[in-house]
């Protein structure tokens, strides 16, 4: 299994792209602006999109993806999301006011896209690749994901603040090789991190003390303009492990 980082920033500008991770060629986790760098041919073979939550930086390119390649495909694009996230997408995005409802285009029986509900702890098996939603704590209903190739696993927090349930679930992954965890703000913005249910370096340090395994750790969702500051604070505050910055274009094979 191969995972390619299409976007991992908390914002845009220059080379920054928001969250989107491509598994092999056909499975996507989130559809942020990084998705837009794929060719039309690459986008047309994506069969599954797993959505962590409904915030714009994680779904910005989802409506455009469906519109751009939906009629090039011979089967619906499957959108995997929790019931709460599906309801938000239906009410606020695919509502005919912001964007057409492609779940009923060209008709209800043969739509361009279709929703598939996911639940925390319930694994979805796609050709031997197993994706399991993980519990997280954000301002809207959200999940992270465990991605298991059968040989090793990668855990992705998505957006979260402090969450004991997340670390309990992560600690139960016996073959965990990689951990991608967010840190959206510097410590100077800790109040904003708490209010918006994200992490800052001092909070990350406390969270990583709950980790009982020894995966390679990568930091995602850094804000443009604060990347160096936030990573410096992480290196100063986090003890015992060495988190590295996640990069656009980075690949993981496991």
Judged on CB neighbours under 10 Å (0-12, 13-18, 19+), 70 is middle
* Tokens 């925390």 -> residue: 120
pLDDT confidence bin for 202, thresholds 50/70/90: very high
- Please, are residues 113 and 119 in contact by the beta-carbon 8 Å criterion? no
Q: Mind listing the pLDDT tens digit for each residue in 175-198?
A: 999 999 999 999 999 999 999 999
Tell me the domain boundaries of the chain.
2-253
Closest-CA residue to 244 (of 186, 179, 152, 170): 179
pLDDT in tens, 158-170: 999 999 999 999 9
Q: What is the mean pLDDT of residues 106-127?
A: 97
Maximum separation of any 2 CA atoms in the chain, in Å? 56
Q: Is 163 helix (H, G, I), strand (E, B) or coil?
A: coil
Instruction: State the pLDDT at residue 33.
Output: 98
pTM, entire model: 0.97
pLDDT given for residue 77 in this prediction: 98
Q: Please choose, from the candidates 109, 151, 135, 122, the residue with its C-alpha nearest in 3D space to the C-alpha of residue 53.
A: 135
| pLDDT given for residue 42 in this prediction | 98
Q: What is the pLDDT of residues 29-38, one digit of tens each?
A: 999 999 999 9
Mean pLDDT of the residues in the chain: 97
- Strand partners for 116: 80
The confidence score (pLDDT) of residue 205 equals 98
The span from the CA of 119 to the CA of 82, in Å, is 6
Q: What is the pLDDT, as a whole number, of residue 147?
A: 98
DSSP state of 3: E
- Say whether 146 sits in a helix, a strand or coil: strand
CATH superfamily of domain region 2-253:
Ribonuclease Z/Hydroxyacylglutathione hydrolase-like (3.60.15.10)
Question: What is the pLDDT, as a whole number, of residue 206?
Answer: 98
Contact 58, 97 (CB under 8 A): no
- Cα separation, 128 vs 138, in Å, equals 30
Q: CB–CB of 121/223 below 8 Å?
A: no
Length of the chain (residues):
254
pLDDT of residue 218: 98
Residues 44-101 pLDDT 10s: 999 999 999 999 999 999 999 999 999 999 999 999 999 999 999 999 999 999 999 9
Cα distance between residue 84 and residue 208, in whole Å:
28
How far, in Å, CA of 74 to CA of 142, rounded? Answer: 30
């Amino acid at each position: 299994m191969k995972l390619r980082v299409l976007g991992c920033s908390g914002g845009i500008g220059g080379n920054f792209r928001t969250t989107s991770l491509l598994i092999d060629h056909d499975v996507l986790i989130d559809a942020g602006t990084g998705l837009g760098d794929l060719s039309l041919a690459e986008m047309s073979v994506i069969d599954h999109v797993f959505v962590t939550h409904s915030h714009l930086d994680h779904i910005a390119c989802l409506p455009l993806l469906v519109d751009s390649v939906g009629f090039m495909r011979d089967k619906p694009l499957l959108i995997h999301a929790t019931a709460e996230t599906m309801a938000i997408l239906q009410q606020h995005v695919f509502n005919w006011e912001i964007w057409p409802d492609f779940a009923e285009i060209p008709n209800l029986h043969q739509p361009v896209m279709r929703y598939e509900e996911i639940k925390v702890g319930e694994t979805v098996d796609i050709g031997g690749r197993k994706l399991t939603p993980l519990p997280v704590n954000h301002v809207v209903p959200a999940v992270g994901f465990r991605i298991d190739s059968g040989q090793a696993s990668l855990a992705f927090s998505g957006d979260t603040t402090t969450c004991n349930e997340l670390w309990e679930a992560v600690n139960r992954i016996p073959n965990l090789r990689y951990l991608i965890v967010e840190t959206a703000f510097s410590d100077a913005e800790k109040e904003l991190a708490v209010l918006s249910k994200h992490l800052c370096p001092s909070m990350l340090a406390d969270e990583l003390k709950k980790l009982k395994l020894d995966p390679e750790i990568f930091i995602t969702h850094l804000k443009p303009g604060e990347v160096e500051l936030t990573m410096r604070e992480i290196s100063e505050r986090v003890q015992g492990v060495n988190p590295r910055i996640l990069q656009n274009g980075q690949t993981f094979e496991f």
